[in-house]
Structure 1
């Protein structure tokens, strides 16, 4: 885990003073601060004849650096993100209005500078110095107000950026986890085991059918292994994988169901997450032909106003999401991660049939990953261009 992420995680738990000191000690601020403090101390020493001149200058600078940014950040904390609303959530404590907080900041700054520059020298018997003269104290008060505000906002913005980067990394890890989980659930284990058991039985009864099933299953698995290494591939490749699944189910009895392919040629240029449609194809088979519901499995693709609509229909009425099922939620999540609000997914009953609809935007460009994966394995083990 990166240091930025660690800092971001620690930031919200730190006190304001501690996080401010940490921010001031960062090289990108420590060096400019030193370039201001050191010349001021040298000028104070050169234009003052009092032994307390240098300590007073360092005390003025140190108190400003410690109090100014910390006070502004305490009075005007930057929001750390949207607050979740709930009936049980404790109400946020009321803060004084902004004008009152500005007055508090201004009063504390003036009191601190005047206390160190005006009253402390009288208390310790020190004389007038360059920085504790009347005009210089006015400038010091102004510098406290403006400098404290500037440093506070800079530290806050940096911490906000660090938190957003950590959040982005967390979302990236979540996306990777969702993709891995999707890949694990793309090929139903029961389907795979049942297919292997069927192939074992066909080996005894019909060697030609068993051989054909093995070749088709091998082709599917080979294509799926290719998809694991890609973040996106062509819609044509995705559809070929879905049709390969249908063909595999139809190996034993081609008349058990029919596949209607309503797909334009050529297909529109669309990039989709690999194996996005495979859970929908499995769902169509599981709740259609494999549930003894004969009929057509329809795959339809059409372009409507810059969007590509991909429909998969099967016999059997949709009865709602199955409790504990992961296929449909994975499709929704992957669409959201890949396209945000530009894509949608729905599945509903259409009479005594089920219709699943995926809508994605037409891709504006071809990524390098698609150029590297521009072929698909077909049943005989050869490849063909997309």
Structure 2
């Protein structure tokens, strides 16, 4: 069945078709534009959150680094090292300010229609500050002095000569300080644990080695160990174990070959001690090794070592003091100025340990 349309009807149909097609095209364009806009918004929010996270991490890291550098400035061994550390502190502070600006610039996109994310100028500034940080850190480490190097710097012929070491009385103090450095003992320790992967890690005890110079053979030394739990973000320590049975284990060990320094057993010690190593005149050190059984988790070992002759005291009239956070690997203890339990030192157990003499005619 067919019909012939007149010209008027045909024109009306063509006009309606064109209008319908135009509306369809416009709707299609609006849908595509809306989809693109939604995808752009989602991508922008993801970029904003990612940039904000990076910036917040950078603010936290630079703030902690600046705090650590501020502590290092107080312990600088020379004026040049102090100046370099101050410069390093200013650089880290500038990096923290740049990271803070990036953080606020990124978060602003969540509140307004503008966000400052991955800013080109900030990236360049951060890169320049990072390079400067590395260069200043390298220079500061070069001028960091401790031990014998610090003594040479402060001696009467050094660049940082101190007034207390001048004159006849000062010369005695200077030689006494040198003797103290050359005869300083060393402490290494390692904790033993079990569990760790799917079960909580538990401590069962720790091995400890104390190395003494052969200069003190035949003399007695005083040991005052303390096991603490150190509080986070402050310098206070809570002494959690203080029994004579625990601390008496520090002198229930044996003397070993000095070459074994740092080579600690990976198994708990037995009840019976092995025989002592026989030293000869060729051995320059004496090495004490012992096993201490304790279930204290993540302990901080502090041990004060003093020679009974009082000839090896430090300049501040205290004994050698060492501190080490025990873990499941062998580490060397750091020498510190004072123990967390120094205020209650009178109540701590003092242990006496006799350093063996060398025996002539014995093989090494």
Specify which structure has the bigger relative contact order, considering alpha-carbon pairs within 8 angstroms and separated by 6 or more residues: 2
Asked if TM exceeds 0.5, the reply is no
Calculate the TM-score normalised by the size of structure 1.
0.26
| Larger helix percent | 1
Instruction: Report which of the two has the higher share of strand.
Output: 2
